[in-house]
C-alpha cells in the first residue's frame, strides 16, 4: 500500500482485469444458489402436477365410491345388466360353418373356439366370443372387446296395457313391430 492510500482511508484499487464481485468463490456461490432455487421450483411443479392428476382422476386408478367423492348409486353403471345380456342370443360354434382355414379365436381369453362351444355374437358389430368370456367382459364394460362399439340392443318390450282400447290398437295393425327397423 502506498502512503497516500493509508492516510485517506480508501481501499486499494483492485488489480487490472479483476473486480471484487467476480471472484471465483462469489461466482460459485451465485451458481449454487440459483441451481438450488431452480431444483426447488422444479420439485414444487412436479408435486403440483402429481396432485392435479390424482385429484382429477386421470391417473387411471379406479377408486371406491368413498374415495371418488360420489355415492355409488349416482355413478353410471360400468357394464351391461343381466337383462341386456339375456337379450343377446347364444349360439353353438361349428367350425364347418366358419369355412376359414385359420381357427377362430376369442379376443377375450385368446383361445381357439372349438366345435360345440357356446358363442355370443354381439349385435351391431357382429364380433363373436365365448359366451362366458364376453359376459364377464360386458358386466364390467359396455363395449365390444375388439372395436369398442356399444352393442346395438333391441329396446325393452313393454307389457301390453289391459283394456279394450289397448287390445283394439294392438289388433288393428295385424302385425308385430319390426325390432330391427326401430332406432
pLDDT at 36: 97
pLDDT at 181: 42
Residue 164 maps to a domain: no
List C-alpha distances in Å: 142 to 49, 79, 106, 152.
31, 4, 17, 11
pLDDT at 84: 84
Residue 161 maps to a domain: no
**The residue to which cell 360345440 is assigned:** 116
Lowest mean pLDDT among 12-21, 59-68, 91-100: 59-68
Residue 68 maps to a domain: no
Residue 37 maps to a domain: yes
Same-domain pairing of 96 and 46: no
If we measure between CA atoms, which residue out of 108, 105, 110, 106 comes closest to residue 137? 108
What is the extent of the structural domain holding 118?
82-140
The answer to whether 94 and 115 have CB atoms below 8 angstroms apart is yes
Residue 29 maps to a domain: yes
Residue 113 maps to a domain: yes
Q: Confidence class of residue 67 from pLDDT cuts 50, 70 and 90?
A: very low
pLDDT at 46: 94
- Contacts (Cβ under 8 Å, ≥6 apart) of 57: 63, 68
Q: Provide the mean pLDDT of the chain.
A: 74
Burial 96-123 (b: 16+ CB within 10 A, else e): eeeeeeeeeebbbeeeebeeebebbbbe
Same-domain pairing of 93 and 44: no
Could you report how far apart the first and last alpha carbons of the chain are, in Å? 102
Lowest mean pLDDT among 16-30, 124-138, 151-165: 151-165
The answer to whether 87 and 122 have CB atoms below 8 angstroms apart is no
Q: How many C-beta atoms lie closer than 10 Å to residue 49's C-beta?
A: 10
The answer to whether 128 and 112 have CB atoms below 8 angstroms apart is no
User: How many Å apart are CA 33 and CA 40, to the nearest integer?
Assistant: 11
Report whether pLDDT(126) > 70. Answer: yes
- As beta bridge partners, residue 120 has 90, 129
pLDDT at 41: 97
User: How many Å apart are CA 82 and CA 122, to the nearest integer?
Assistant: 15
- Contacts (Cβ under 8 Å, ≥6 apart) of 11: 5
Same-domain pairing of 91 and 43: no
- As beta bridge partners, residue 92 has 118
Query: Number of folded domains in the chain?
Result: 2
Report whether pLDDT(183) > 50. Answer: no
CATH number (domain holding residue 111): 3.30.40.10
Amino acid at each position: 500500500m502506498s502512503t497516500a492510500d493509508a492516510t485517506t482511508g480508501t481501499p486499494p484499487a483492485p488489480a487490472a482485469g479483476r473486480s471484487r464481485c467476480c471472484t471465483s468463490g462469489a461466482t460459485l456461490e451465485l451458481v449454487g444458489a440459483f441451481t438450488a432455487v431452480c431444483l426447488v421450483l422444479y420439485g414444487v411443479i412436479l408435486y403440483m402436477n402429481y396432485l392435479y392428476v390424482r385429484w382429477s382422476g386421470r391417473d387411471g386408478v379406479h377408486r371406491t365410491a368413498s374415495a371418488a367423492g360420489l355415492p355409488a348409486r349416482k355413478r353410471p353403471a360400468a357394464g351391461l345388466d343381466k337383462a341386456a345380456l339375456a337379450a343377446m342370443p347364444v349360439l353353438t360354434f361349428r367350425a364347418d360353418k366358419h369355412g376359414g382355414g385359420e381357427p377362430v379365436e376369442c379376443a377375450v381369453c385368446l383361445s381357439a373356439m372349438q366345435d360345440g362351444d357356446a358363442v355370443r355374437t354381439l349385435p351391431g358389430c357382429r364380433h363373436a366370443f365365448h359366451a362366458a368370456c364376453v359376459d364377464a367382459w360386458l358386466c364390467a364394460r359396455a363395449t365390444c372387446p375388439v372395436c369398442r362399439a356399444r352393442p346395438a340392443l333391441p329396446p325393452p318390450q313393454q307389457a301390453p296395457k289391459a283394456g279394450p282400447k289397448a287390445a283394439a290398437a294392438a289388433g288393428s295393425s295385424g302385425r308385430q313391430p319390426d325390432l330391427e327397423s326401430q332406432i
